[in-house]
């Protein structure tokens, strides 16, 4: 749609695709672990990163679907370094600790459902189990719970960036060197994926009028791939990106005190 075509400072817009925003990037030597990579935005992200030379680990719940997806990538990109690893983000026991991670997997449930760890499923999958954190959100309406989980993503990203920056400065002071780590949150936009598969009416709307007003998967994966690979993003951390450009999140998502409280609360649960 026309409003996707408004280019920002990066030179890209909501209409840009993942291939377009990474054109010319040589990412050989990088490793990316992508959750939810067997379909939708995750699959397109895995495909484009593999196209640019990244060694990709597809962390998925459904291994059969993961292998099918990886085979499709190899068929499209001969020699692609793509691997499948089983990972269920709704289970604490299944959490994978990785070096490079693109946290893409997400769900939206019809009802207030609990994970096998007794967590509200959307919060567990979309936020908590990415960072091995634990909380218990109950009795939210499903859209409210989904929104809470996504707000937690942005708050955690911001606070993690701050904590890492403080730690890096300490390490640099003590050892004379440091490792540069960037943490950013991205919003892919409203994309025609299977996220609404558990909500029959909404899924029907997405599959009809959504094809007109929503982004394609190729466009939805663009911001993720841009932030992961583009040289312009080097050194940027603790920020929020949408349509391949820096954006200002909501007042709640920008609340540093709220981010600190979420971090402390989550850390206490993890340590226990």
In this predicted model, what pLDDT tens digit does every residue of 8-26 receive, in sequence order? 999 999 999 999 999 999 9
* Cα–Cα–Cα angle for 118, 57, 269, rounded to 5 degrees: 30
| Per-residue model confidence as pLDDT tens digits over 49-68 | 999 999 999 989 899 999 99
User: Is residue 35 very low, low, confident or very high in pLDDT (cuts 50, 70, 90)?
Assistant: confident
- In-domain check, residue 23: yes
User: Is residue 96 very low, low, confident or very high in pLDDT (cuts 50, 70, 90)?
Assistant: very low
Give the pLDDT confidence score for residue 234 in this predicted structure.
Answer: 92
- In-domain check, residue 1: no
Of 156 and 210, more confident: 156
- In-domain check, residue 269: no
- In-domain check, residue 182: yes
| Per-residue model confidence as pLDDT tens digits over 134-188 | 333 333 645 556 677 888 889 989 999 998 888 765 555 455 555 578 999 999 9
- In-domain check, residue 9: no
pLDDT at 242 over 90: yes
Average pLDDT estimate for 96-102: 49
Average pLDDT estimate for 238-253: 94
Give the pLDDT confidence score for residue 97 in this predicted structure.
Answer: 43
Average pLDDT estimate for 113-132: 63
Of 122 and 254, more confident: 254
- CB burial of residue 36 (10 Å; 0-12, 13-18, 19+): buried
Q: What percentage of the chain reaches a pLDDT higher than 90? A: 46
Average pLDDT estimate for 196-221: 68
Total tally of structural domains belonging to the chain = 1
Of 110 and 151, more confident: 151
- In-domain check, residue 271: no
Average pLDDT of the residues of the chain: 79
User: Can you give the residue range of the structural domain that contains 66?
Assistant: 14-262
- Whole-number Å distance between alpha carbons of 37 and 34: 6
- In-domain check, residue 4: no
CATH code of the domain containing 75: 3.40.50.720
Of 190 and 54, more confident: 54
- In-domain check, residue 85: yes
Give the pLDDT confidence score for residue 75 in this predicted structure.
Answer: 96
Are 105 and 35 in contact, with CB atoms under 8 Å apart?
A: yes
User: Is residue 92 very low, low, confident or very high in pLDDT (cuts 50, 70, 90)?
Assistant: low
pTM, entire model: 0.76
Give the pLDDT confidence score for residue 265 in this predicted structure.
Answer: 83
- Whole-number Å distance between alpha carbons of 203 and 194: 8
C-alpha pair distances (Å), 170 with each of 159, 166, 179, 215, 238: 17, 6, 11, 43, 18
């Amino acid at each position: 749609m026309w409003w996707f075509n408004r280019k920002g400072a990066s030179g890209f817009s909501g209409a840009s695709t993942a291939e377009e925003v990474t054109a010319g990037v040589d990412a050989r030597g990088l490793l990316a672990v992508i959750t939810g990579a067997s379909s939708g935005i995750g699959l397109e992200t895995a495909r484009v990163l593999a196209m640019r030379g990244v060694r990709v680990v597809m962390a998925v719940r459904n291994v059969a679907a993961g292998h099918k997806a990886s085979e499709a990538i190899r068929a499209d990109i001969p020699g692609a370094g793509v691997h499948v690893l089983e990972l269920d983000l709704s289970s604490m026991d299944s959490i994978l600790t990785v070096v490079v991670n693109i946290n893409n997997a997400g769900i939206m449930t019809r009802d207030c459902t609990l994970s096998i760890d007794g967590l509200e499923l959307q919060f567990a999958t979309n936020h908590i189990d990415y960072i091995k954190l634990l909380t218990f959100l109950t009795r939210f309406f499903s859209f409210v719970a989904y929104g809470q989980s996504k707000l937690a993503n942005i708050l955690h990203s911001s606070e993690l960036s701050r904590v890492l920056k403080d730690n890096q400065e300490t390490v640099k002071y003590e050892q004379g060197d440091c490792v540069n780590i960037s943490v950013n949150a991205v919003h892919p936009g409203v994309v025609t994926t299977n996220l609404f598969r558990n909500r029959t009416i909404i899924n029907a709307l997405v599959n009809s009028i959504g094809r007109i007003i929503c982004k394609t998967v190729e466009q939805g994966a663009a911001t993720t791939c841009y932030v992961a690979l583009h040289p312009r993003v080097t050194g940027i951390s603790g920020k929020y990106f949408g349509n391949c450009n820096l954006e200002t999140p909501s007042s709640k998502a920008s609340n540093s005190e709220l981010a600190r409280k979420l971090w402390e609360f989550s850390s206490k649960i993890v340590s226990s």
